[in-house]
Amino acid sequence: MIKAIAVDMDGTFLKSTNDYSRERFEKIYQELQEKDIKFIVASGNQYAQLSSFFPNQSEITFVSENGALIFEKNQLLKKATFDSITVHSVLRFLLQLDVSIGIVLCGAKQAYMLEKQPEAFQQFANRYYYALAEVASFDNLPEDEFVKIALQVPEREAKSLVDQLNQHFSKDITAVVSGHDSVDLLIPDVNKGQALLYLLKRWQISASQLLAFGDSNNDLEMLKLAEFSYAMANGSEEVLQTARYVAPSNDDEGVLTVIETWLAKMSGIT
């Protein structure tokens, strides 16, 4: 019996148009509510951005910033943050690299990027961060607590940069590829899987009752946790190897199709 469903957003729940079939999901969501099944959005993205996709579904729980911030009923439930020394050390390291890197420093209050960035990076940042401020320098930042550093890098450089960062900051950060040209720098042992484990314990739900969907390597811990784990057909090689099942692609609305199939089974409809 499924008691909770966790979905990644980009490349998983959202189609390439950066949206989803809202009418179809609304019908599914109503049935989830009737069956008391929790619906969790688990993403590397900012809470302000994620919640904007679901203006009418106040019962959704949000695991944002890859698990650093958890929101339940629009209230911050749990928070994990970097220490400031680590943040400044990593930023200095990134800024001296001979690679074109766009940097978004993600705070609990809002996100920050340097002024006068290339237009393409500004579009990238504005797409994912609705609460975003420009700063003249990362040396003097507003009062905030920092939960993630998001990078946009040339796709061919992503894996090597991840390896380099994990080697250089092995105890201080965990770097993962979160999309073809995206890299997330996370707090060690803070990830979607750990966030979901916290929620399941809070709700007294077993991982054997969890249905989860993902497409990128920042979904691996979540997929390992869930008894019913689905890689999207468009997922990374590691995700496809980790998940127990494969769902149709995000553009084929694979998440909605699989959930509908599960709900039909639970209702005794074949």
> Which residues are annotated as catalytic?
8
- What is the distance between the alpha carbons of residues 128 and 46, in angstroms, rounded to a whole number? 7
- Torsion angle, alpha carbons of 198, 201, 261, 18, to 10: -20
Residues 15/250, Cβ–Cβ less than 8 Å: yes
Helix (H) or strand (E) holding 264: helix 254-266
Ramachandran angles phi, psi of 54, nearest 5° = -130, 65
Residues 183/175, Cβ–Cβ less than 8 Å: yes
- What is the distance between the alpha carbons of residues 226 and 224, in angstroms, rounded to a whole number? 6
- What is the distance between the alpha carbons of residues 37 and 147, in angstroms, rounded to a whole number? 29
Residues 51/133, Cβ–Cβ less than 8 Å: no
Strands 245-247 and 61-64: unpaired
Nearest to 161 by CA among 137, 139, 185, 138: 185
Sequence-ordered alpha helix ranges (H) in 13-133: 22-34, 47-52, 84-95, 119-128
